[in-house]
Amino acid sequence: MANCKITAGVDLTCDDLRRLGGLNNRFWIYAPSDVSGSTESIEGYIEALTFEVGASSFTFDSPDNSCSAGWEAVVAEGGNKFFNHTVAIKLISTTPSDDAIIEEMLVAKMAVIVETQNQEFLIYGINNGLKATEGTQNSGAEDASDTTDSLTLSGGDKLKPKRFFSVDYATSLALLEGYETPAV
């Protein structure tokens, strides 16, 4: 049997206690198969992604306070353990083009980069991708009804979602925005 041990502790600072929950309303989605590699810092941050020629990420905007992302530890009967990544998103589709994109998302394997309210970026599904496991839309019965297209994406990974960071927040954001242009 494996003799697995922890190798360090986790510190807590006052700044760690001053954190907001929730996500920014903008996120990026790409196909993991479109990424040929990544650069990881000594600290473990993903500093850059390398996209295949012609590939890019796509930016999505959702209503404020409508998306969430997280992970759950899974312990299988056979003893193996992994992290189930889940991203719940809401989109407002108003055109046939929007509808077609949501239809593509239902069958695609995706990785999702989210921005927390603390200006941190996390990549869900970086290794194995996420697939749509739920999807709903309803007209509602009242004026204030939620009429968004809601999708839940999930998938297993042996690691927690990876943190994306290069130099500072502005540089990290600029890199992510640069990935919206197809690689050459």
Residue 61: which of 94, 107, 96, 106 has the closest Cα?
94
Residue 105 has pLDDT above 90, yes or no: yes
Beta strand pairing call for 46-51 and 35-40: antiparallel
Instruction: Yes or no: say if 70 and 114 are a contact pair by the CB < 8 Å rule.
Output: no
Q: Are strands 58-61 and 131-136 parallel, antiparallel or unpaired?
A: unpaired
In the predicted structure, residue 184 carries a pLDDT above the cut 70: no
Task: Provide mean pLDDT across the span 52-68.
Answer: 93
- Is the model's pLDDT at 1 over the cut of 70? no
Mean pLDDT calculated for residue range 129-158? 90
pLDDT exceeds cutoff 90 at 2 = no
Across the range 134-158, mean pLDDT stands at 89
* Confidence category of residue 141, pLDDT binned at 50, 70, 90: confident
pLDDT surpassing 70 at residue 27: yes
Residue 31 carries which DSSP code?
-
If you average pLDDT over every residue of the chain, what do you get? 93
Residue 105 phi/psi, 5° resolution?
-65, -25
Q: What confidence score (pLDDT) does residue 143 get? A: 86
For the residues 126-137, what does the mean pLDDT come to?
94
For 3-17, what is each residue's pLDDT tens digit? 888 888 888 888 888
Tell me, yes or no, if the pTM score tops 0.75.
Answer: yes
Of the candidate ranges 70-74, 77-81, 169-173, the one whose mean pLDDT is the lowest: 77-81
